[in-house]
Amino acid sequence: MKKIISIVTYLLSPIKENSIFFVFMYLLGVLTFMIETVTLNFKIPRFNFLSLVVDLYLLCLILIITPKRIRPYLRFLFASVAYVLSVVDVFCVEMFKTKLGPEIVNVIVETDQRESSEFLSRYINIDVLYSSVGLILLLLVIHLLVCYYWSAISSRLYAISWVRYCYVSNYIRMAVLMLIILCFGFCLDSRWTLVRMLNARDLIEIDGCISNFSENTPFNNVLFALKLRQLADAELGVLADNQKDVTVDSCSFQSDKIVLIIGESYIKCHSQLFGYNKETTPKQVERAQGLGSGLLFPFYDVITPFNLTSIVFKNMFSLHSVEDTTNWAKFPLFPVLFRKADYKVFLITNQFVKSIKTDNFDTSGGLFLNDSRLSNLQFDYRNTMTHRYDEGLLHDYDSLRKYEGDHNLFIFHLIGQHIDFYKRSPDSWKKFSSLDYTDRKELSEAERQIVADYDNATLYNDNVIDCILKKYEMEDAIVIYMSDHGDECYDELHRMGRLPGGSDYSPEVLRQEYQIPFWIWCSQSYIERHPIIIERIRMAQHLPFMIDDLPHVLLQLAGIDSSFFDESRSPISEQYNARRVRLINGKCDYDMALKGSRISQ
């Protein structure tokens, strides 16, 4: 028994020798989490409090193996870094409603002396002390006072019988050690993910790590940001250099005005156009029936290769193919080819605008679209701010139309049905409520309302898209609509949200998260002037297609000839390869997993 007690005492010695540090650092972490939760109205990841124990134990272990003369200075350094990160994080939460993360770190790194001075003079004042930042500073003051008066405080505490019992009790020690061991057990997977992330070799690999990692502490977020910046700088440098050497052999300008609308988190089975039993896309249905101006052609077998926006955008904008093992950054981006062919290219996005208040910053969508070098290479004009609702993009479009040339490519990127579905439609478009889903007995009242919120967002999305189409009804225009990926909203599986890529390839997940709505609309003028293209579109409606091949469709529509263009990857081409293996996450054969066979022809 004595040997066991001695082992327990030895294993707890890192905390015992650094007890003040351990307690106050834990309080700091908890306080930071609580401020984020209250201010941003989000749920704390369930293992955050446990991971704090693990991280602090490891820090204390580093301290105890450090020579005693150095230990106080190292402990001061650790504590200083923790308080600074917490202050910055809480300040960002208070002022910008966003946590300390990659976008904030990038802004800090790229800010010059003048901008820093202007920022400090604007935001740093006495009012900061009365915000949540003041709570962090108050904890710091208490921490310093406890350290200074520890001798007197400890003697008084030790005089209290139950405190003294807890200090000397072997049972308490064993219980504490068991709690720490349990914390390590619960957090083992997340620690391994953190190690993988720090050793990631490219942005796709780190994207996969982040999708599996939910412990967004200020310290972890800074680690993420620094690692992302390192990888992004290298990858974007390669990407930018390769765009400069891209050439276009010729261009017939087959289509003068091409429009691409990219949706967000659109579940195909929630679209009335594709058979949903609620009227969520009445205007698309009318256009598909020929009741409106022009004609809409639904495509019935289209999938996305990934369920994460950032990776989708890489493979959708680049002429890289999912099955190609060459780095995507070594391939041209389709907007670059359009510009070199003398098209004017416009980006009108409700997500990837440079701003520290941007809701959806990710490691590649935001970076390669917002990188100044690549943005200048890809786009002639773009909007400069996001909007609460997607209809704000219509005003951006109207303000940019004066810059149109003879041949134009417009790219609309919507917030669509992004998570927090109830935020994606104004009150005037909330047609559905939980009462419309009383037949869904397996769902709770709250879950039925979530489904209603999603369908309301889809209905509103239908209206926004229709407003975009109306702007092209009197022009010679062709419009492609697609979503970046699907989602889950209590349909085949009793859950919402997306699973980390590669964790489940069941038919239910493939249908909900990887099948996407895709259609092409042509104005009446375009239908009359391009009968051959219209016929090929009709013939392609039931062909299997994956959106990493989208650039080849766009290049064919424009008539751009380049060594990178491959007709066999465009479904509206007679040379299209419908037998291509469609790989999900570069691994799973979609058709074999879902249907048991691929098309044969």
Contact 499, 307 (CB under 8 A): yes
- The DSSP symbol for 511 reads I
Q: Which residue has the tokens 């979530």?
A: 450
Instruction: Using pLDDT thresholds of 50, 70 and 90, give the confidence band for residue 538.
Output: very high
What was the pLDDT predicted at 109? 59
pLDDT of 107 > 60? The answer is no
What is the mean predicted confidence (pLDDT) over 318-336?
A: 91
* % of residues, the chain, pLDDT over 90: 56
The strand pair at 302-303 and 518-522 is best described as unpaired
Q: What is the arithmetic mean of pLDDT over 243-256? A: 93
Domain 254-594 sits in CATH 3.40.720.10? yes
Sort 184 into a burial class: Cβ within 10 Å, 0-12 / 13-18 / 19+: middle
* Spatial distance between the Cα atoms of 269 and 165, rounded to a whole number of angstroms: 62
Beta-bridge mates of residue 303: 515, 546
More confident residue, 222 or 435: 435
* Per-residue model confidence (pLDDT) at position 46: 62
DSSP lists the bridge partners of residue 299 as 518
Q: Which of 355, 389, 366, 360 shows the shortest CA–CA distance to 96? A: 355
Query: What pLDDT, on a 0 to 100 scale, did the predictor assign at position 117?
Result: 62
- For residues 305-333, average pLDDT: 89
Exposed / middle / buried, residue 122 (Cβ in 10 Å: 0-12, 13-18, 19+):
exposed
Span 424-450, average pLDDT:
95
Q: What is the mean pLDDT of residues 348-363?
A: 62
Average pLDDT over residues 280-309: 94
H-assigned helices in 341-473: 365-370, 372-378, 392-400, 445-470
Map residue 515 onto helix, strand or coil.
strand
Residue 193: predicted pLDDT = 75
pLDDT of 358: 42
Higher pLDDT, 218 or 521: 521
Mean pLDDT is lowest, of 101-115, 133-147, 291-305, for 101-115
DSSP run (H or E) holding 194: helix 170-198
Average pLDDT over residues 441-462: 96
Name the pTM for this structure.
0.73
Spell out the domain ranges in the chain: 2-186, 254-594
In tens, the pLDDT along 539-566 reads 999 999 999 999 999 999 999 999 999 9
> What is the mean pLDDT of the segment spanning 191-195?
75
Model confidence band, residue 175 (pLDDT cutoffs 50, 70, 90): confident
Q: Which two tokens stand for residue 125?
A: 């004042």
Residue 474 and residue 94: Cα distance in Å, rounded?
Answer: 48
Asked if 385 contacts 353 with a C-beta cutoff of 8 angstroms, the reply is yes
pLDDT of residue 138: 94
Per-residue model confidence as pLDDT tens digits over 16-71: 899 999 999 999 999 988 888 888 776 666 667 888 888 899 899 999 999 989 99
Q: Note whether 559 and 255 are within 8 A (CB).
A: yes
Average the pLDDT over each of 57-66, 72-81, 201-210 and give the range with the smallest value: 201-210
